[in-house]
Structure 1
Amino acid sequence: MSSIATHSNSELCQRAQDALQSIGSSATITPDSQTSISVRSPINGEILGSVSHELTEATVDQTVTVASEIFQSWRCVPAPVRGEVIRHLGIELRQHKDALADLVQIEVGKIRSEALGEVQEMIDICDFAVGLSRQLHGLTIASERPQHRLTETWQPLGPVGVISAFNFPVAVWAWNAALAIVCGDPVIWKPSDLTPLTALATTTLVRRAAVAAGAPIDVCQVVFGDANIGAELAADHRVALLSATGSTRMGRAVAPVVAARFGRSILELGGNNAAIIAPSADLDLAVRGI
């Protein structure tokens, strides 16, 4: 593969379209701004065009309503059967690793090894979650009451919202979604508004995995938009848990809203890490890593 950093705007656009087609997504990139979802690459700082797809029209209320309906039946599916969705997703990711890494490179600007590594993390969490689907056991506890025993049983929680950030456009979603789906919880994903292509491509793969496993195609949905969309997810009482990755400011806005309705939240915030380079370091390697 040639260096993606040397490509012109039209070449980057074509490469992204080729990757989407390889994955099987019907999303199209057009040079003019026909939709509100624009695609920008940090490789050259330019807008590649706008993306159009039927999935980009969904609203928070629509997706949460669908997720709530699916939850009523999905929670009753045996966990090992739910794990089949994630097993098929792992297969899809292995088959389309290069194409998805292409999109990560184009939208985020990662070097090739980092982009491939992020997709590999998705594959790894799928493998972990499939194993977990056969280990959702609880404890049997002795009781002081004669002829009684206490049994611990884990129950599905409900629809799970996932807000992911620009710097890890697909791995963060996978860490949350793979576990949630195995645990019986449908997922609503709000990706960064800077990475619509990776989100559409990933959603194509997980929908195909769901069909292959005989699961509802909308067991994982995606909703696009700015911070207002995230605020809607945080405020919706039907979203049992919201996992949000982003800035500390975002966390301060989200956490009180979720807590006020007695929802649950997982927050991964503020990863501004310094790097110290020693004089003896390989500077070329350090620059690529940083």
Structure 2
Amino acid sequence: MIITSTNPAHLDQVVGEVELGDADTFVAAAQSAHDAQPGWARIPAPVRGRAIAQIGRVVEANAEALARLVTAEIGKPYAEALGEVREIVDTCDFFLGEGRRLYGQTVPSEMPDKQLFTFRKPVGTVAVITAGNFPVAVPSWYIVPALLAGNTIVWKPADYSPVVSEAFRDLFVRGGGLPDGVFTLVQADGAATFEGLSRSLDQGLVDKVGFTGSSAVGAEIGALAGRHLQTACLELGGKNPLVVTPSADLDLAVEGALFSGFGTAGQRCTSLGTVIVHESVHDDFLARFTAAVAAARVGDPTEDVLMGPMLDAKFAERYEEYLGWVAPHHKVHGATGRIGADNPRDGFVGDPGAGLYYHPVVVDGTRPGDRLFDEETFGPIVGVATYRDLDEAIAMANHPGYGLSSAIYTSDALEAFRFRDGISAGMVSVNNSTSGAEAHLPFGGNGKSGNGSRQSGIWVLDQFTRWQSVNWDYSGRLQKAQMDVGELTGDAGFRLGS
């Protein structure tokens, strides 16, 4: 089956055509990766690190071209797309150094003439399945550390970003000089992927699964891996809160909420879901926020805009469903729906009829129990709620049960620390947006947002390595731990028990 990828900002523009594989394609790729893994693991880690460094340099040299392709295929504004490509470079730069670390430990033994050690071992073959809203940055968070640690990869990207995925694969394989089977791309739809993954797990060809996508699909992936006594690395959705306190710099909070809520047209797992504003500053904040949204530049992603189109028609259709969740007690600010000649937006950049463009929406009066408050809304819609004290704000922030990203705007250090202590999210920002990550800080969530696994930094290595312990006894006799217990003596100093 051949699919055609079109530009969501200009639907009549074809980005490319890609042939989709089936479940057999996935299994064959897993077999190839499984066969190649022992050889790749035998290559010294510092040498693998140099391959990662070379990939980083090749991506850096092609950054603008790759960013333009990201913009063309998913409609992400170019500045954001270029920042995403730079995340690959940052990740490669960080993991070059880990090739000379991958530290274990030397541990003291309770026995004489005995040494204890720990080592990191690669898990084996890793199946990586990613979404297309970050079609190159997020895959690199899995693939770079997994390769560095000595694993081989089967990568299945989103079916709405296939051309970018091909370019990403070519930069990695050719740029890093990777041997055959070490990194294989499989283009397939969801059903074929799930069947192929299941069969590969049954045959012992896949040792770890990494998945970025919706909470619903993540639960299925996690259950499938669990049946094979594996723990998947899951990075899922979010309903990310941003709390505005009475001491907040309101203009800064508005700027943070604008980028958090409407960057990438609200199609990030870390996008802002609900602004939770103290009652004393609610009206002032809301007036400033809605004015900023009304003035924001929306349109052609090759221009200087806050947000471009929806990623794909399926996300546009789903977003229209979210607009149906508006309840009678809500107040909608601004126009809603698809932007066009009959539903215009002032200052639109470009031709709204050419692509999948939608109005950014602010909905005031949301509260726990509302679908708009409780459930992830993947698109340019932000709820606003009101709170009376910080304990209530924290309870509201935790209510949806996701736990990915969060933010608080405050000038009070005590409020910041109380929020950090009480929030369930895996990531907390103080006076910054809910979006954004750095390559050396752990990324991931809890609850509906994931199973506690983390990407980025040294922490992701726990996903792609297993600890091996070694005890080396050179006493010349059998020493039995916990049975032959040594003790101090007054004369000899130490005596081994029996």
**What range describes the TM-score normalised by the shorter chain of this pair?**
0.7 to 0.9
Q: Aligned equivalents of 1:50 and 1:101: distance in 2? A: 16
1:195 aligns with 2:161: yes
**TM-score, normalising length: structure 1:** 0.80
Deviation at 1:263, TM superposition (A): 2.2
Q: Determine the structure 2 residue equivalent to 1:156.
A: 122
Q: Write the deviation string for residues 132-175 of structure 1: whole angstroms up to 9, x where unpaired.
A: 11110101000101111110011111011111102111111101
CA distance in 1 between counterparts of 2:207 and 2:137 reads 22
Say whether residues 1:244 and 2:195 are aligned partners. Answer: no
Q: Which has the higher helix share?
A: 1
Q: Is the 8 A contact 1:86 1:178 kept in 2?
A: yes
Q: Post-superposition shift, 1:46?
A: 4.5
Q: Which residue of 2 aligns with 1:126?
A: 92
CA 278–219 in structure 1, closer or farther in 2 if over 3 Å, else same: farther
Amino acid at match of 1:271: G
Structure 1 contact 119–171 (Cα < 8 Å) conserved: yes
What is the match of residue 2 of structure 2?
36
Kindly provide the amino acid, as one letter, of the partner of residue 246 in structure 1.
G
Q: 1:232 — aligned with what? A: 195
Structure with a larger share of its residues in strand? 2
Identify unmatched segments of 5+ residues in structure 1.
1-34
SS at match of 1:146: coil
Alignment of 1:75-90 (within 5 A): 75-90=41-56
The answer for the alignment partner of 1:26 in structure 2 is: none
SS in 1 for 2:2: coil
Q: Which moved more, 1:37-46 or 1:118-127?
A: 37-46
CA distance in 2, matches of 1:96, 1:71: 28
Secondary structure of the structure 1 residue equivalent to 2:110: coil
SS of residue matched to 1:279? helix
- SS of corresponding position for 2:211: strand
Q: Secondary structure at the match of 1:154?
A: strand
Change (3 A) 1:233 1:264: farther
Relative distance call for 1:119 and 1:140 in structure 2 (3 A) is: same
Classify the secondary structure of the residue corresponding to 1:124. helix
- Quote the Cα distance in structure 2 between the aligned partners of 1:114 and 1:137: 35
The TM-score with structure 2 as length reference comes to 0.48
| Aligned-partner Cα distance in 1 for 2:101–2:92 | 14
Select which of 84, 94, 98 maps to 2:60: 94
Amino acid at match of 2:273: A
Q: Which amino acid aligns with 1:44?
A: H
Q: How many Å apart are 1:278 and its aligned residue? A: 4.4
Structure 2 residue runs of 5 or longer lacking an equivalent are 240-271, 276-284, 299-305, 308-379, 381-498
Query: Which structure 2 residues correspond to residues 216-231 of structure 1 after superposition, within 5 A?
Result: 216-231=179-194
1:181 to 1:49, Cα distance in 2 relative to 1, 3 A: closer
Is the Cα–Cα contact under 8 Å of residues 74 and 185 in structure 1 kept in the other structure?
A: yes
Residue 52 of structure 1 and its aligned partner are, at CA, apart by: 4.4
Pairing of 1:139-150 with structure 2 (within 5 A): 139-150=105-116
Distance 1:136 1:229 in 2: 35
- Aligned-pair CA distance for 1:49: 6.4
- Pairing of 1:1-290 with structure 2 (within 5 A): 36-46=2-12, 48=14, 50-52=16-18, 59-211=25-177, 215-235=178-198, 236-237=200-201, 238-272=205-239, 273-274=272-273, 276=275, 278-281=286-289, 282-283=292-293, 284-285=295-296, 288=306
Give how far 1:50 is off.
4.9
Measured in 1, the distance between the counterparts of 2:59 and 2:16 equals 25
Mark the structure with the bigger radius of gyration.
2
Relative to structure 1, the CA distance from residue 99 to residue 129 in structure 2 (aligned partners, 3 Å threshold; closer, same or farther) is: same
* Whole-angstrom distance in 2 between the partners of 1:50 and 1:198: 10
Tell me if structure 1 keeps the 8 A contact 2:18–2:163: no
Query: What is the alpha-carbon distance in structure 2 between the residues aligned to residue 197 and residue 225 of structure 1?
Result: 13
Q: CA deviation at 1:37?
A: 2.1
Mapped to 2, the partners of 1:46 and 1:262 lie a distance apart of 47
C-alpha change, 1:220 and 1:147, in structure 2 (3 Å) is same
Equivalent residue number for residue 20 of structure 1: none
* Preserved CA contact (<8 Å) 1:82 1:133: yes
Cα displacement string for residues 77-121 of structure 1 (whole angstroms, at most 9, x for unaligned residues): 110011122111101111110111011111111111110010011
Aligned residues, how many? 252
Deviations for 1:242-285, whole angstroms, at most 9, x for unmatched residues? 11011111112111111101123111111354254743354445
Residues 4, 18 of structure 2: 8 Å contact kept: no
Give the AA of the match of 2:208. L
AA aligned opposite 2:228? R
